[in-house]
């Protein structure tokens, strides 16, 4: 990891320059909306989620509305995102807990967010960074996982272990934006099946650039 420590500052600097002002692609206006959108985005594209959330958030305007939602009805409304039964259950149960234990306000700490049904560290990190502009960690989604391994920042497979490696490398001031720029680079250049290494701005900093072996 010594090599990674030497490269991480330049990696971050280059990606900030390449993707200025990066933010989540999910559409939302409130912390509860980004919570719901993030739950829906599991195993689904952000673009697909953004197609259904305008109508969803118009019908369910608050945590209380989602807490009172009929499971079968909500399932049909989010069916196109996949895994709709589990997602519906988690959204309703999390919303009920927010209403009952947090007075209808999505909690703004990692510890409290992790008490919500269906919320693990990735979702909690996204809610904190996107909903509250706070960072207590780094969200490790499929893009961050893939790029972290290719760039030699972590050799772990478990997202929580990858996050621990990243927290030991990435300066705390960069935790807020790290996921955003990695996601953008993963979508635009360092794709899973066929990374575009010849045109990558990180190719001189990436130990995988020559082989460009896809990592799922």
For 19-32, how does the pLDDT look when each residue is reduced to its tens digit (9 = 90+)? Answer: 999 999 999 999 99
pLDDT at 210: 60
Tokens of 13: 């600097």
**37: which residues sit within 8 A by CB, 6+ positions away?**
26, 27, 28, 49, 50, 53
* pLDDT tens, residue by residue, 113-132: 999 999 999 999 999 999 99
pLDDT at 209: 86
211 confidence band (pLDDT: 50, 70, 90): low
pLDDT at 103: 97
**Active site residues per annotation:** 122, 141
Asked whether the beta carbons of 122 and 160 are under 8 A apart, the reply is no
Mean predicted lDDT score pLDDT of the chain: 95
* pLDDT tens, residue by residue, 196-208: 999 999 999 999 9
Q: Concatenate the DSSP letters of all residues of the chain into one string.
A: -HHHHHHHHHHHHHHHHHSTT---SS--SSHHHHHHHHHHTTTS-HHHHHHHHHHHHHH--SHHHHHT--HHHHHHHHGGGS-HHHHHHHHHHHHHHHHHHHTTS---SHHHHTTSTT--HHHHHHIIIIIHS--SS----HHHHHHHHHTTS----SHHHHHHHHHHHS-GGGHHHHHHHHHHHHHHTS-SSS--GGG-TTGGG-TTTTT-----
CATH match for 31-132 among 3.40.50.10800, 3.60.15.30, 1.10.340.30, 1.10.3720.10: 1.10.340.30
pLDDT at 181: 98
pLDDT at 215: 47
57 confidence band (pLDDT: 50, 70, 90): very high
95 confidence band (pLDDT: 50, 70, 90): very high
Is the pLDDT score of 52 beyond 60?
A: yes
Q: What percent of the chain has pLDDT over 90?
A: 95
* pLDDT tens, residue by residue, 140-178: 999 999 999 999 999 999 999 999 999 999 999 999 999
Q: Which of 8, 12, 84 is nearest to 44 (CA)?
A: 84
pLDDT at 21: 94
Q: Where are the domains of the chain?
A: 2-22+138-205, 31-132
pTM: 0.92
Judge if 2-22+138-205 and 31-132 fold alike in CATH terms: no
Q: Which CATH architecture has domain 2-22+138-205?
A: Orthogonal Bundle (1.10)
């Amino acid at each position: 990891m010594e090599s990674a420590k030497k490269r991480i500052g330049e990696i971050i600097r280059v990606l900030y320059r390449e993707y200025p002002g990066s933010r989540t692609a999910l559409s939302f206006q409130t912390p509860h909306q980004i919570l719901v959108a993030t739950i829906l985005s599991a195993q689904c594209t952000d673009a697909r989620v953004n197609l259904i959330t305008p109508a969803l958030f118009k019908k369910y305007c608050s945590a209380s509305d989602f807490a009172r939602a009929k499971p079968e009805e909500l399932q049909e409304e989010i069916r196109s995102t996949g895994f709709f039964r589990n997602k519906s259950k988690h959204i309703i149960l999390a919303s009920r807990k927010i209403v009952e234990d947090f007075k209808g306000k999505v909690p703004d700490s990692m510890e409290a967010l992790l008490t919500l049904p269906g919320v693990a560290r990735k979702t909690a990190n996204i809610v904190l960074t996107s909903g509250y502009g706070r960072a207590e960690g780094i969200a490790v989604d499929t893009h961050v996982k893939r790029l972290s391994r290719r760039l030699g920042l972590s050799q772990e497979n478990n997202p929580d272990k990858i996050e621990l490696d990243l927290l030991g490398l990435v300066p705390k001031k960069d935790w807020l934006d790290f996921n955003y720029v990695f996601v953008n680079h993963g979508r635009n250049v360092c794709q899973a099946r066929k990374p575009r290494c010849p045109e990558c701005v990180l190719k001189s900093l990436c130990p995988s650039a020559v082989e460009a072996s896809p990592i799922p």
